[in-house]
């Protein structure tokens, strides 16, 4: 619009409100008190309109499925399995974004979220995938040599590796009856995939989540030296907005993910 057209629209608004919204001083334009009162509501309305347009744009694309997920879960569990989803649904392109923070599906342009937590996600449809458990893992090399890991007390001779998972070394050492090992010492990683990589490289012993360490254990990169496992009230969940439950792409991914989660749980039971 030209400046003259904008000026005409503003004058029409002022006539409709019966109040001046702007003061014109030579080349300077200032908002009046009425304009300042109107501004927050206009801004909020435009923000809501923009959000709605983004959601319509995303939902209108029948080929792209946008998923938000934790980085470690994506790299260690989800991505290695995505090939089977692609083979089943080649018409769907998965756009995977990773973040440690919780993404607001009402605001951000994502169709699905995979989260680790306690399942309290108000306003969302929540599907429990599988529970979590933690236990020590290390490089196979640490099972040999003069300081070989043969019993939990041997951890006093090794470096403990940490991440920010709620169940930590203090709880596991207490459950195992180990005394004299400092549960606070050792390197800290803010990404659980890096924690497992450090353990595989022989930097120390990590307290790992089964769902993340499973592939490395099967491949022989990591071993679990002790049978003591701690369960947690944390679990993995698939979440989405209730109104999108019947969208074909979301339904297709949900059904595939349920199958993968079932197969993973079955492998755990066998192994």
CA distance 187 to 195: 9
Q: Are residues 74 and 54 in the same domain?
A: no
Q: Is a pLDDT exceeding 60 seen at residue 51? A: no
Q: Are residues 13 and 142 in the same domain?
A: no
Specify the CATH number for the domain of residue 259.
Answer: 3.40.190.290
State how beta strands 112-117 and 64-69 pair: parallel
Q: Are residues 128 and 9 in the same domain?
A: no
Per-residue pLDDT tens for 183-221?
Answer: 999 999 999 999 999 999 999 999 999 999 999 999 999
| Confidence grade of residue 60 (pLDDT, cut at 50, 70, 90) | very low
Percentage of residues in the chain with pLDDT exceeding 70? 92
Structurally, how many domains does the chain consist of?
2
Output the pLDDT for position 113: 97
Q: Are residues 133 and 264 in the same domain?
A: yes
Of the candidates 107, 173, 108, 174, the residue with the CA atom closest to the CA atom of residue 136: 173
Per-residue pLDDT tens for 5-19?
Answer: 677 787 778 788 788
- For residue 14, the enclosing domain spans 3-59
| DSSP alpha helix (H) spans, the chain | 3-17, 33-59, 71-73, 82-88, 169-176, 192-200, 210-219, 248-270
């Amino acid at each position: 619009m030209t400046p003259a057209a904008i000026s005409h629209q503003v004058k029409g608004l002022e006539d409709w409100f019966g109040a001046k919204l702007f003061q014109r001083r030579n080349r300077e334009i200032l908002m009046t008190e009425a304009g300042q009162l109107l501004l927050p509501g206009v801004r909020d309305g435009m923000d809501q309109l923009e959000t709605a347009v983004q959601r319509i744009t995303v939902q209108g694309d029948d080929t792209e499925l946008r998923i938000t997920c934790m980085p470690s879960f994506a790299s260690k569990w989800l991505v290695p399995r995505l090939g089977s989803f692609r083979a089943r649904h080649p018409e769907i392109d998965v756009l995977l974004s990773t973040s440690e923070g919780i993404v607001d599906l009402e605001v951000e342009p994502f169709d699905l979220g995979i989260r680790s937590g306690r399942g309290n996600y108000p306003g969302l449809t929540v599907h429990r995938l599988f529970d979590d458990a933690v236990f020590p893992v290390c490089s196979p090399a640490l099972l040999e040599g003069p300081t070989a890991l043969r019993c939990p007390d041997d951890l006093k001779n090794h470096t403990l590796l940490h991440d920010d998972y709620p169940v930590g070394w203090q709880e596991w050492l207490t459950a195992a009856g180990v005394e004299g090992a400092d549960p606070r010492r050792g390197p800290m990683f803010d990404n659980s995939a890096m924690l497992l990589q450090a353990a595989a490289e022989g930097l120390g012993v990590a307290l790992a989540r089964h769902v993340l360490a499973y592939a490395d254990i099967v491949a022989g990169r990591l071993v679990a030296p002790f049978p003591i496992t701690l369960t947690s009230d944390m679990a993995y969940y698939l979440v989405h907005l209730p109104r999108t439950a019947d969208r074909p792409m979301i339904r297709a991914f949900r059904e595939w993910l349920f199958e993968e989660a079932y197969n993973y749980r079955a492998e755990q039971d066998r192994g």
